[in-house]
Amino acid sequence: MELAPLLLLLFAFTLAIFLGFELISKVPSQLHTPLMSGSNAISGITIVGALLALNAMEGPAAKWLGFAAVVFASINVVGGYMVTDRMLAMFKKKDKGGPGA
Amino acid sequence: MNAVLINLLYIAASILFIFGIKMLGSADTARKGNRLSSVGMLLAVIATLMYLGLDWWMVVGGILIGGAIGAVAATRVKMTGMPELVALFNGFGGLASLLVGAAEYAKLRDAGVDHYLEMLQAQSGVTVPGWFVLLAIGLTALVGGITFTGSLVAWGKLAGKLPGIPTLFPGQQFVNVALMIAALVGIVLMVSGGDGSLALTAGLVLVVLSLVLGVLITVPIGGGDMPVVIALLNSLSGIAAAMAGFIILNNVLVVAGCLVGASGLILTGIMCKAMNRSIGNVLFSGFGATAQAAGGVTGEMKASSVEDAYFVLEAAQSVVIIPGYGMAVAQAQHAVKELAHILEENGAEVRFAIHPVAGRMPGHMNVLLAEADVPYEQLQEMDQVNPVMPTVDVAIVIGANDVVNPAANDDPSSPIYGMPIINAHEARTVYCLKRGKGAGFSGLENALFFGENTRMLYGDAKATVSALVAEFGK
């Protein structure tokens, strides 16, 4: 019975896979790059794991590895979201200009 | 109480990610979706900071340093440099997951397996057997390592720092399989070895193997296949994050990582379909290194001049512009937009035909043309344009090659036979802008260039297009 919470996690894992497939089964090709770059930013969620390694009680090896992980994950998260927003801003501007032209 | 609140916030973050990805899939909502998902990320980070006992200096320092680097890179990059940057960010995500795995393993060794599992239970509320955690650490290291170096190689190829041509050596696949088996053995040794020194050695070897594998898997892949590889690496970075989530038993990591993994796989599938190839074929064939035998191309390429092209274009009623990687290299998108504008003022109907794998990443051409302010309605997909192609007066191919090669339609001996193409050859006249006479990226001769109705315009694409624009101004 002790393993029940773990099984729930595996359950979430399986459902998330199917959800992911369902969510974006049809994407217009002009959005391929932003979708990739935006979902890439989401994969920076590993920053949560990195932060949890920075427990003040831990030894130096764990902490410095965790620190490096935080740095790289932050690059991924901040850079990923900003660059995606920049790209999508261009798409947006055009939508307004299109009908008027 | 604290743990409940943290987990509720994690659930909220997951919901925001789900809506974010969903909205990224449609043009009207994409920007809002991206912002929603960034709010989700912020929530997840804030929730995590509510865990007691974090080393604040390192937390704040790490986020500030990484965030600043990311922000500067994202703001400074030119649109033409976008594929490289996305690849690089992706690699950093994989590296971060690898480092999380390493940090957790260091904790496990410091505390001993039993005590580590107790700490994990206190943090997450989930009880797990030791082998499960070690297996998760091993898989995180493997997938994270492959994502990291694979993305670095992709970055190098896209940025032109590494040769874009496929690099193969004899027995490479055998080596890859052997390394993969060795890596799996490493994981088994880690799982069975726990906090012992043999397991540590196995873990270090595993990291090295995964880094080497990332390079060996990506190096044989040619520039033209890059969209597939980038999409696949994107998926792997999500899977690495999900695996890291299994180490620390964190549901938001598992769910978000999984979503990215699945959406990346879908994109990979779309790219493969657009090339009529399987993922195995893309990864293992070293396409282009072996495919040189292009038979059945007859005739000669007919060079033309900007003046001639001007007269034809001036009289054209409908024009289709087909951009490819060459347009990105020449940074010709603004000049191309200008040409399209002038042709429209001249009374022609102008469309852009975008092949799904044109360029070096999924959607590459769309981003460039969006930057140049080409109206969204003018960008058409292959299936929309092909039916009307025979009625088109002039097709202008700008630095595209394989995606307009008619051999894919009618030459069963061609390596790209069966790949859906834009039927540029059906237009009344075709102008091909090309840097030189050589074969394209894949090493294939393009039957289109030898076509009866095809005229070649050699030279830098940007210079050629600008010269055409100037002709109209006279």
Q: ipTM, 2 decimals?
A: 0.90
The HSE-up count of residue A43 (CA atoms within 13 Å, CB side) is 42
pLDDT at B294: 45
Write out the H or E segment, with its range, that includes residue B188.
helix B172-193
Nearest to B226 by CA among B261, B275, B262, B175: B275
Residues of B with CB below 8 A from A16's CB? 242, 254-255, 258-259, 262
* CB–CB contact B20 A38 (8 Å): yes
pLDDT at B382: 87
Nearest to B284 by CA among B166, B142, B144: B166
A15 to chain B, closest Cα gap in Å: 8
A11-19 contacts: CB < 8 A, separation 24 or more?
A12/B251, A12/B254, A12/B255, A13/B242, A13/B246, A13/B254, A13/B255, A13/B258, A16/B242, A16/B254, A16/B255, A16/B258, A16/B259, A16/B262, A17/B258, A17/B261, A17/B262, A18/B262, A19/B18, A19/B258, A19/B259, A19/B262
Q: Is B211 helix (H, G, I), strand (E, B) or coil?
A: helix
pLDDT bin (cut points 50, 70, 90) of residue B439 is: low
- Residue among B82, B140, B260, B342 with most chain A CBs within 10 A, to mutate: B260
More confident: A26 or B257 = B257
Closest Cβ opposite residue B267 in set A18, A32, A73: A32
Q: pLDDT at residue A101 above 70?
A: no
- The answer to whether B409 and B423 are in contact (CB under 8 A) is yes
Would you state the torsion angle of the CA atoms of residues B382, B388, B389, B392, taken in this order, to the nearest 10 degrees?
Answer: -130
pLDDT at B1: 57
pLDDT at B297: 60
* CB–CB contact B67 A63 (8 Å): no
pLDDT bin (cut points 50, 70, 90) of residue B474 is: confident
Write out the H or E segment, with its range, that includes residue A69.
helix A60-74
Would you state the torsion angle of the CA atoms of residues B48, B49, B54, B57, taken in this order, to the nearest 10 degrees?
Answer: 130
pLDDT at B70: 96
* A39/B256 Cα distance (integer angstroms): 9
pLDDT at B72: 96
CB atoms under 10 Å from CB of B456, counted, come to 19
pLDDT at B290: 43
User: What is the pLDDT averaged over residues B20-48?
Assistant: 92
Percent of chain B with pLDDT over 70: 95
pLDDT bin (cut points 50, 70, 90) of residue B244 is: very high
Closest Cβ opposite residue B66 in set A32, A65, A71: A71
pLDDT bin (cut points 50, 70, 90) of residue B380 is: confident
Q: Catalogue the active-site residues of B.
A: 402
- The answer to whether B80 and B331 are in contact (CB under 8 A) is yes
pLDDT at B443: 60
pLDDT mean across residues, chain B: 87
Nearest to A89 by CA among B367, B185, B261, B48: B367
Percent of chain A with pLDDT over 90: 44
Nearest CA in chain B to A26: B25
pLDDT at B442: 57
The residue assigned the tokens 């090309």 is B434
Which amino acid is present at B193?
A: G
Q: Which of A72-86, B205-219, B319-333, B363-377 has the lowest mean pLDDT?
A: B363-377
**φ, ψ (nearest 5 deg) of residue B122:** -65, -35
User: What is the pLDDT averaged over residues B333-343?
Assistant: 91
Token couple for B26: 């449609």
More confident: B368 or A78 = A78
- The answer to whether A46 and B100 are in contact (CB under 8 A) is yes
Nearest to B68 by CA among A4, A22, A70: A70
Q: What is the DSSP letter of B54?
A: B
The residue assigned the tokens 């906090």 is B195
Closest Cβ opposite residue B24 in set A25, A31, A86: A31
User: What is the pLDDT averaged over residues A3-20?
Assistant: 86
* CB–CB contact A23 B18 (8 Å): yes
**Tens of pLDDT along B277-321?**
788 777 776 554 444 444 456 667 788 888 888 888 888 899 999
* A81/A43 Cα distance (integer angstroms): 11
pLDDT at B375: 82
Residues of B with CB below 8 A from A53's CB? 100, 103-104, 107
Q: pLDDT at residue B202 above 90?
A: yes
Residues of A with CB below 8 A from B234's CB? 36, 39-40, 43
Q: Is B434 helix (H, G, I), strand (E, B) or coil?
A: strand
User: What is the pLDDT averaged over residues B74-79?
Assistant: 88
